[in-house]
Amino acid sequence: MPLNDTYGPTGRERSLLGRLRGLNWTLVALITAVCCIGFALLYSVAGMSFDPWAERQIVRFGIGLVLMIAIALIDIRWWFQLAYPIYGISLALLVAVEFMGRKGGGAERWIDIGPLQLQPSELMKIALILALSRFLHGLLVDDVSRPTRLLAALLLIGVPAGLVLIQPNLGTAMILIVGGCGLIFLAGLSWKIILPVVALIAAAVPVGWEFALKDYQKQRVYTFLDPDSDPLGAGYNITQSKIALGSGGLFGKGFGEGTQSRLNFLPEKQTDFIFTVLGEEFGLFGLLILMGLYTAILWNGVQIALDTRSQFGRLVAMGVCLNFLLYILINTSMSMGLIPVVGIPLPLVSYGGTALLTVLFGFGLILSVQVHRAIDIPRSAAALI
């Protein structure tokens, strides 16, 4: 598969400068705006100080921004060729967590590589999108529902999801499963397959509750159903989150004036519950602004997906958007007490190096799809390594 084709109809588009000019800078600006909201909130919850969270997050964003633009300039066909190797490396890192992982919050999720702390489960979110998109790219719509092809796609999802669940990291495993199955659906999965599978999953819920969930995960569900039963114990997190959100009102208490976060009543304020900090300090108005920016980001991503010629590029862009949407829905619903508490950060806002860089990597792929939207990849290429 040659890599020296033109990127578009003119010679200018073949140059580095032409590709830079062709970037969707609106999407880059929207991503930067959301990250700046995150910097401000991290500065606030640290007592109006850049240390220890905001300063590190700004540096990580600077690195991630350069990485995102560099990824965008790489020919989409290179990402097509690297899809399976990246998946294999990410899978090996997930296995390595079991032997050399570092525990945090009761789970083994990190690997220390020199000065870097790597969370392989975050990398797998992007690796799965690439591998699944490449696999589905080579299938006709009718082939997606064939049992052998569907089983292969489900194995691509199930193996890493199982390894993540063992850590245990239920939130990330849910994103891998829902995001992966959503991508199969977008590729053309028949409703004749979907409906029986949904019924089977519903029937398996009691079995999963009894044998798959850890005691602390079951406790999260009990707490979700009745947080007032133990307001100073298991229900403390969600109770404080609701208090903070409610006290913000329409316009909030003001920047740096959030009492629940500043007085340390709100747990994990820099990560899992940073959405609550925004609601307390800037009220419903601030939350709507963030949701508006998120909506604009997703809109741009979907438009890029619809505008590209290759099925691989289309699925990659839709997969990243779906993954991003799941992040948002789970974190915000958790903060408002609509679902049980799981360790899912608010994308581009919560503190965390691997999570931030992974999201920016994903949007780099979307931008690569946009820059190289005129390139078509033959379906037959999917069978080649």
Please list the residues that pair with 103 across neighbouring strands: 108
Domain positions in the chain: 11-383
User: Model confidence at 1, in pLDDT bands (50, 70, 90)?
Assistant: very low
- Backbone dihedral angles phi then psi of residue 345, each to the nearest 5 degrees: -75, 160
For residues 48 and 262, is the Cβ–Cβ distance under 8 A?
no
> Taking residues 111-127, what's their average pLDDT?
80
The whole-number pLDDT of residue 6 equals: 43
Q: Any idea what DSSP says for residue 107?
A: E
φ, ψ of residue 111 to 5 degrees: the values are: -125, 130
Instruction: Look at residue 383 in the predicted model and tell me its pLDDT.
Output: 56
Contact (Cβ atoms closer than 8 angstroms) between residue 340 and residue 223: yes
Burial degree of 146 (CB within 10 A; 0-12, 13-18, 19+): middle
pLDDT of residue 9: 43
Sheet architecture: strand order including 102-104: 102-104, 107-113, 116-118
Place of tokens 């696999």: 135
The reported pLDDT for the residue numbered 381 is 62
Model pLDDT, residue 231: 60
Amino acid 10: pLDDT: 42
Dist CA 292 CA 287 (whole Å): 9
Lowest mean pLDDT among 165-169, 214-218, 282-286, 296-300: 214-218
Segment 132-154 shows an average pLDDT of 89
d(CA 234, CA 135): 43
**List of E strands, the chain:** 102-104, 107-113, 116-118
Residue 235: predicted pLDDT: 64
Rounded to the nearest integer, the mean pLDDT of the chain is: 84
b/e code 190-218 from CB counts within 10 Å (16+ = b): eeebeeeeeeeeeeeeeeeeeeebeeeee
**Residues 112-122: what's their mean pLDDT?**
74
Give the confidence band of 225 by pLDDT, cuts at 50, 70, 90.
low
* Residue 56 falls in which region: left (phi positive, over 0), alpha (psi -120 to 50) or beta: alpha
The whole-number pLDDT of residue 14 equals 53
Please state, in angstroms and rounded to a whole number, the distance separating the CA atoms of residues 345 and 21. 32
- Cα gap 244→276, rounded to integer Å: 6
Compare 174 and 200 and report the one with higher pLDDT.
174
* pLDDT tens, residue by residue, 264-318: 667 778 888 899 999 999 999 999 999 999 999 999 999 999 999 999 999 999 9
Tokens 């999260």 correspond to what residue? Answer: 220
pLDDT in tens, 28-78: 999 999 999 999 999 999 889 998 899 999 999 999 999 999 999 999 999
The helices-and-strands tally (H runs, E runs) of the chain is 15, 3
Model pTM above 0.75: yes
The mean per-residue pLDDT over the stretch 236-258 comes to 83
3-state helix, strand, coil in the chain (%, to 5): 70, 5, 25
Share of the chain above pLDDT 70, in %: 83
CA distance 16 to 367: 14
